[in-house]
Amino acid sequence: MSRIRTWKSAVIARMRGRASDAGAGFVEYAGLLILIAAVVTAVMGLGLDDTISTAISDAVDEITGN
């Protein structure tokens, strides 16, 4: 019984301590949003949107047999 109490105490301490996972914060979400915006801007600025669209369409046609 002593081992179970020790294990339980250790698990609870880890969950409450600095090792607990608090989830993503505002800065992480803002960074992700900036990264997505940069990729979209690069794709649009370089004119790759038609190239990507055509490649996806060709791949779908190849899979479906059209």
pTM of the shown model:
0.51
pLDDT reading at 50 higher than 70? yes
CA angle 42, 47, 50 (to 5 degrees): 120
Share of the chain above pLDDT 90, in %: 48
Q: How far apart are CA 39 and CA 47, in angstroms?
A: 12
Q: How far apart are CA 61 and CA 54, in angstroms?
A: 10
Domain boundaries, the chain: 23-66
What does the pLDDT look like over 20-44, one tens digit per residue?
566 778 899 999 999 999 999 999 9
